[in-house]
Amino acid sequence: MRHFLILACALLLAACGRTPVQEQQAYVFGTRVEVLVVSADPAQGRQAIAAVLQEFDRMHRAYHAWQPSELSDLNLAIAEGQPQQVAPELAGFIGEAQQLSRQGDYLFDPGIGQLISLWGFQADEFKAELPEEAKIKAWLANKPSIADLTISDGLVASSNKNVALDFGGYLKGIALDRAAGILRAKGIYNALINIGGNVMALGSKQGRKWRVGIQHPRQPGPMATVALEDGEAIGTSGDYQRYFEVDGKRYPHLLDPRTGYPADHTQAVTVLIPGGAKAGTRSDAASKPIFFAGPDAWRAMARKMEIGLVLRVDRDNRVFVSEALRPRLEFVGDHPEIIVVP
């Protein structure tokens, strides 16, 4: 699986010398996680990283969509037509996801867990097998959405038994924000966090900005790099991360709720979110509606979601970059066709 390349890490480890950096990797949320911290006290850095990874593991277990968890318990109750009392944290996540989904015209919708399951993507390993067309049509007829949920004093109820929550396109961003809070609380103000391609930068590396690479969707290595300011987060939705092929056609895990099928007009969308509250969360959720909006509507969707820094690669390998993002990108190797848009 190919993700953002933490170029700063490679440069730092190759020539850091006296640079006090601690790095640890783990496998959480079904992807590779990297945490790098810069600290004059190595023990402080290691302890901070351990606290972050411990929190990631807790969130992964609590909100797993297809293994026993608080989230799967809620999905079972919804399927049985029963309201379910949930913890304040989960109630908050649902409410926040509803707001983000509404802002993106429900092209990002964590309520489509049944559809994800039909395609076989609710698994650590999945088969190259298409779902039955009749089952997709039946799912579309039921129109399940996170909008069908109501929350009152922590009691979650649904008007649609076919809603099944899956936070796979949302939880990594939440985890970025959670990690930033943990690190700062422990006195770490210079760090880089990478969760399977969702990246957040804190501070700098000895006064130099953290620089990360944006993965080329069809070639090994990065297509461009970007330096991140303190607190900025960057995220990508790409058809190269989780997919299978049938008869030479690629079927990625990015499923359009309007059609029930993967979108085939876009290879990748990258968004860069300025530092601030919920920057990580927005970096994860915002790329999906822009990805699904397609060639005629992606820019309007970005504006609607107030995303000014965006890059899109279409199925013909053309690269569209917003005017605000273009000056910050350094393209690597042979330049692709780049179209700058307002």
- From 250, 248, 200, select the one nearest 228 (Cα to Cα): 200
Q: Please, are residues 262 and 239 in contact by the beta-carbon 8 Å criterion?
A: yes
For residue 333, give the 3-state DSSP assignment: coil
Closest CA to 176 of 52, 74, 85, 274: 52
Copy the structure tokens of residue 321.
């970059």
- The phi and psi torsions of 78 (rounded to 5 degrees) equal -60, -45
Delimiting residues of CATH 3.10.520.10 domain(s) in the chain: 7-60+170-341
207: Cα within 13 Å, side-chain hemisphere: 0
| 310, 271 Cβ separation under 8 angstroms | yes
Mean pLDDT value across residues 226-246: 96
Structure-token pair, residue 277: 């509250």
Residue 185 has pLDDT above 80, yes or no: yes
φ/ψ of 79, rounded to 5, equals -60, -30
- Report the pLDDT value the prediction gives residue 9, as an integer from 0 to 100: 41
Q: Residue 322 pLDDT > 80, yes or no?
A: yes
pLDDT band, residue 20 (cuts 50/70/90) = confident
Q: What's the pTM value of the predicted model, to 2 decimals?
A: 0.93
Among 49-58, 122-131, 251-260, where is mean pLDDT lowest?
Answer: 122-131
CB atoms < 10 A from the CB of 250, how many?
A: 14
Token reading at 24: 């640890």
- Looking at residue 12, what is its pLDDT? 38
| Rounded Cα gap, residues 271 and 307, in angstroms | 7
Answer yes or no: is pLDDT of 4 > 50: no
**Any idea what the Cα angle at residue 120 is, between residues 115 and 124, rounded to 5°?**
125
Q: How many residues does the chain have?
A: 342
Confidence at residue 18, expressed as pLDDT on a 0 to 100 scale = 53
Over residues 53-66, the pLDDT tens digits come to 999 999 999 999 99
Q: What is the pLDDT of residue 1?
A: 40
Q: 172: which 2 tokens?
A: 């990594």
Every domain range in the chain assigned CATH 1.10.3980.10: 70-158
- Structure-token pair, residue 267: 């290879």
CATH classification of 70-158, choosing from 1.10.3980.10, 3.20.20.80, 1.10.287.1080, 1.10.3720.10?
A: 1.10.3980.10
Question: What per-residue confidence (pLDDT) applies to 7?
Answer: 43
User: Count H helices, E strands: the chain?
Assistant: 10, 17
Dihedral sign, Cα of residue 81, residue 163, residue 119, residue 33: negative
Measured CA angle at 286 (ends 218, 333), to 5 deg: 30
- Residue type for 230, please? D
For the segment 72-119, what is each residue's pLDDT rounded down to a tens digit?
999 999 999 999 999 999 999 999 999 999 999 999 999 999 999 999
- pLDDT, mean over the chain: 93
User: Residue 11's pLDDT is what?
Assistant: 38
Please give the average per-residue pLDDT across 219-242, as a whole number: 95
Mean pLDDT, rounded, for 310-330: 97
Contact 206, 38 (CB under 8 A): yes
C-alpha 46/C-alpha 198 separation (Å) is 22
Q: What is the pLDDT of residue 125?
A: 85
What angle (nearest 5°) sits at the alpha carbon of residue 65, between those of residues 294 and 5?
55
Determine the Cα–Cα distance for residues 316 and 320; give it in Å rounded to an integer. 11
Which top CATH class is 7-60+170-341?
A: alpha beta
Q: 315, 294 in Cβ contact below 8 A?
A: no
Q: In this model, does residue 221 exceed pLDDT 70?
A: yes
pLDDT surpassing 60 at residue 17: no
* Contact predicate 201/222, CB 8 Å: no
Q: What is the rounded distance in angstroms from the CA atom of residue 286 to the CA atom of residue 273?
A: 9
